[in-house]
Amino acid sequence: MKLNHLDLQVSDVHAARAFFETHFGLRCAYSRRDEMALMDDDIGFSLALSNLGQNAAPTYPPDFHIGFVLDEASQVEELYDRFKSEGIAMKMGIQQGGPNLYFVCLGPDSIPVEVRAPIK
Query: What pLDDT does 55 receive?
Result: 81
Q: What is the number of other CB atoms lying within 10 angstroms of the CB of residue 89?
A: 10
Residue span of the structural domain in which 114 resides: 64-120
State the alpha helices, DSSP H only, in the chain: 13-24, 73-85
Q: What is the number of other CB atoms lying within 10 angstroms of the CB of residue 117?
A: 20
* CA 17 vs CA 63, 71, 74: distances in Å: 23, 24, 26
Q: What is the mean pLDDT of each run of 10 residues along the chain (120 residues)?
A: 91 95 95 93 93 85 92 96 96 94 95 94
pTM of the full structure:
0.91
CATH code of the domain containing 76: 3.10.180.10
Query: What pLDDT does 120 receive?
Result: 82
Residue 75 shares a structural domain with residue 41: no
Provide the residue type at 71 as one letter. D
Domain membership flag for residue 8 = yes
Domain membership flag for residue 28 = yes
Query: What pLDDT does 60 receive?
Result: 87
